[in-house]
Amino acid sequence: MRFDTKIGIVVRGDLAAWQQLNVTAFLASAVAGGVRETIGEPYEDGSGTSYLPMFRQPVLVYVAGLEELRVVREKAVGRGMDVAVYIEEMFKTGHDADNRAAVRAVEADELGLVGVAVHGPRNGVDKVLKGLTLHP
């Protein structure tokens, strides 16, 4: 099935594996929480046990460096896409309010990005992520 929109997550390649997974999970939750139409219906197994709904479309995960992440963020914001960021300082915080304060404390072009998620029209997201490598 081909979707009109696309979800892309870009994580910095120099992070430890647990950090890359953590950043990817947080950024995916941002898209799920902020763009409700990306979520499908709940699941149920043959025994009648219910499970939470998931994205209704694939999520592509890419790897990049800091400067590439900054370019992705800038292009996506410039195109009016749904964007989420994760910055280095968030590894040191203990909860959501501190995370938001850490982001608020830094100008956009100076963010110490370790991850960016984008959601928008398929062609636009493709242009924003052009040239990046899929995560191994």
Domains and CATH numbers, the chain: 5-40+51-134 (3.40.1490.10)
| Residue range 36-82, pLDDT digits in tens | 999 999 999 999 999 999 999 999 999 999 999 999 999 999 999 99
Q: Residue 103: which of 118, 119, 84, 120 has the closest Cα?
A: 84
Q: Tell whether the model's pLDDT for residue 17 goes beyond 80.
A: yes
| Residue range 91-129, pLDDT digits in tens | 999 899 999 999 999 999 999 999 999 999 999 999 999
Contact yes or no for 87/114 (Cβ under 8 A): yes
The pLDDT of residue 39 is 96
Contact yes or no for 6/126 (Cβ under 8 A): yes
